[in-house]
Amino acid sequence: MESVGCVPNAVTYNTLFFELFCSGAIDDAFELKREMEKKGLVAGGFNFGELINGLCNARRSKVAKLLLNEMPGLGLKFGVIAYSTLIDGFMREGNVDEAFKIRDGMVASGIHLDIFFL
């Protein structure tokens, strides 16, 4: 891409993350995230959302939860969609206790439960 003068942005990377996760190339997606950061692009909420979704779909919710620790340092807040994705991931893995801990953290951070959580 760059060889023809097209510089990728966060949206471009998000599309690549999605495709990598769809093809099962999880490690490649994280290598791409590191590459993105080396180029000075900061991953945004949508990028983190795609990473969290891909990890949860690959039954790697524990790794997705680690992204929680990264986001505040970048000035990002975990939103209701990311929380619900992570809760769903833990529930599908049979880790109900962790799902409820995530839900409790969501409520403690000021995000209110909506119809999807009732």
The token pair that represents 20 in the structure block:
């990598």
pLDDT band at 3 (very low <50, low <70, confident <90, very high): low
Domain that includes residue 55, residue range: 2-117
CA nearest to 67, candidates 32, 37, 43:
43
Asked if residue 48 lies in contact with residue 71, where contact means CB atoms within 8 angstroms, the answer is: yes
CATH number at residue 50: 1.25.40.10
Confidence (pLDDT) at 117: 58
pLDDT band at 116 (very low <50, low <70, confident <90, very high): low
CA nearest to 100, candidates 83, 116, 77, 80:
83
118 has a pLDDT exceeding 60: no
Q: What is each CA distance from 43 to 1, 2, 33, 57, in whole angstroms?
A: 19, 19, 8, 20
Express each pLDDT in 63-108 by its tens digit: 999 887 788 888 888 788 888 899 999 999 999 999 999 999 888 8
**pTM given for the model:** 0.78
Express each pLDDT in 15-48 by its tens digit: 888 888 888 888 888 888 888 888 888 777 778 8
Asked if residue 75 lies in contact with residue 54, where contact means CB atoms within 8 angstroms, the answer is: no
Number of domains in the chain: 1
Residue with tokens 């000075």: 40
